[in-house]
A and B are shown apart, each in its own frame.
Chain A
Amino acid sequence: MTKVAVTGLGALTPLGPDVAALTEGLLTGRSGVRLLEGEQWDALPARLAATVETEGRLERVEARTLDRVQQLALIAAREAWSDAGAPSVDPVRLAVIIGSGIGGALTLLSQYDVLQARGPRAVSPHLVPMLMPNGPAATVGLELKARAGVHTPVSACASGAEAIAQALTLLRSGAVDVVVAGGSEACVHPLPMAGFAQMRALSTRHDAPEAASRPYDKGRDGFVLGEGAGVLVLERSEFAEARGARIHAYVGGAGLVADAHHVTAPDPSGDGAARSVAAALRDAGVTATDIGHVNAHATSTPLGDVAEARALGLALGDHRPAVTATKSCTGHLLGAAGAVEAIATVVALRDGVVPPVRNLDDQDDEADVDAVRVVPRELVHDAALSTSFGFGGHDVSLVFTR
């Protein structure tokens, strides 16, 4: 079967402008979380967020005609494409698959304000292409002239991982040579934040923002909303080798299943999550003991972290790989999370080092995983796993190999 090579990485995250900043931030356990200050945030019961900086990264017209979720995807895609050496590929053999959980929410909300204040003739003619959830994929597809297809998986917080899984299937089919895959999210706004807060899903540790996202820790009290984008350039390995591309790692396999348990709560048994891990291992042709590292979904919610730990136990048995939780540093990037964490997993494999979980002071006995704490740990195995779960009961696991 065709192998799928990872040849380009791009990430705009709360830890900084690129993959180098993400890598350094994770290894040193830096936090990208802050308290949102100002009148529009004051009434919110939870007002922590992890935001990104776009200043100077885009032309003025790009900034004007693209929703922020599209802007972030474009910035990350440019980095990934450049990192891959801007492959020379027939446009009809190049596809783009970029997911988003929410889409262009900021445009929808701000243009509703325009409609109220100035009437329908003041509404931007760019409104529809800015708010549509396929906007990030379409923006990147236009930029790269991708003519094999442009797709947008929407599976909440599993969207970014599902994009990579779809890319794997497409590349294995032989229909394309290169896929630019990833996820993007930008919905730091009082309305979505109020909605998440009403679900009691967000941390309210306002007195210590950088300590708020604390997966597996006994003191965790919810996730921190983040924004950002992660994009990977994936290629059929024959194509990558023929052009002499530098290969970071390989996408070994994917497992996508559903809980059918509850629209937002994780199945406490961990059944769906475990089945997705087992399916990904099978698809990659590896066994549990081949996995040296898990980049866990681990959002820092009381229920989710325990259910996932149980799932890893079900799927991996007595084998206990080194687990990290990227969200302890970045916050939860929703539809971008799976892509950014896939990048972190690829870098961990490539460089042979697993970053620590930040803020893990007192591990919850119920979340019984071998979490890496305080300092990075060497990774000698040749395979690693990244898990992503989304509202709707989506379970997506990805295996990467070197």
Chain B
Amino acid sequence: MSLTQDEILTGLAEVIEEVSGVAADKVTREATFENDLEIDSLTMVEVVVECESRFGVRIPDEALETLKTVGDAIDYIATAGVPA
């Protein structure tokens, strides 16, 4: 069973708050990781590691480069997260 977009947003917001200290309510679909949430490249890797573990997905580096906003990440996880 796949997660809804809202469920992924909630989980992602929790991960981001845990690793970066950014309050979960600042994590919206439109927010950019780099500028709005001020997540640096090392912390972004931590977000990926936690997401891979929490959502059971693999986020390769090529995909990471395309994830500019929280919405991008939610869409990627929703798609990649569907069991094959």
Asked whether, in the complex, the Cβ of B46 is within 8 Å of the Cβ of A124, the reply is: yes
Binding site for B on A (CB under 8 A): 59-61, 64-65, 121-122, 124-126, 129
Residues on A with C-beta less than 8 A from B18 are: 60
Asked whether, in the complex, the Cβ of B20 is within 8 Å of the Cβ of A61, the reply is: yes
Give how many B residues have a beta carbon under 8 Å from the other chain's beta carbons: 11
Whether B49 sits at the interface, judged by CB under 8 Å, is: yes
Interface string of B29-56 (1 = CB under 8 A from A): 0000000000000110110010011000
Binding site for A on B (CB under 8 A): 18-21, 42-43, 45-46, 49, 52-53
Tell me, in angstroms, the Cα distance from A122 to B42 when the chains sit together: 13
Cβ contact of A121, chosen from B20, B42, B49, cutoff 8 A:
B49
Asked whether, in the complex, the Cβ of B49 is within 8 Å of the Cβ of A126, the reply is: no
Known: A121-B49, A121-B52. A126 touches B20 (CB 8 A): no
Asked whether, in the complex, the Cβ of A126 is within 8 Å of the Cβ of B46, the reply is: yes
CB distance from A366 to the nearest CB of B (A): 53
Tell me, in angstroms, the Cα distance from A6 to B53 when the chains sit together: 50
Residues on A with C-beta less than 8 A from B52 are: 121
Given contact pairs A64-B19, A121-B49, A122-B53, a sample of 19 additional A-B residue pairs in the complex whose CB atoms are under 8 Å apart: A59-B21, A60-B18, A60-B21, A61-B19, A61-B20, A61-B21, A65-B43, A121-B52, A122-B49, A124-B46, A124-B49, A125-B42, A125-B43, A125-B45, A125-B46, A125-B49, A126-B42, A126-B46, A129-B42
CB distance from B16 to the nearest CB of A (A): 11
Residues on B with C-beta less than 8 A from A126 are: 42, 46
Residues on B with C-beta less than 8 A from A65 are: 43
Residues on B with C-beta less than 8 A from A124 are: 46, 49
Q: Which residue of B lies closest to A121 (CB)?
A: B49
Q: Which residue of A lies closest to B20 (CB)?
A: A61
Q: Which residue of A lies closest to B46 (CB)?
A: A125
CB distance from A107 to the nearest CB of B (A): 14
Residues on A with C-beta less than 8 A from B42 are: 125-126, 129
Q: Which residue of B lies closest to A124 (CB)?
A: B46
Tell me, in angstroms, the Cα distance from A46 to B72 when the chains sit together: 53
Residues on A with C-beta less than 8 A from B21 are: 59-61
Tell me, in angstroms, the Cα distance from A64 to B19 when the chains sit together: 7
CB distance from B40 to the nearest CB of A (A): 10
CB distance from B48 to the nearest CB of A (A): 9
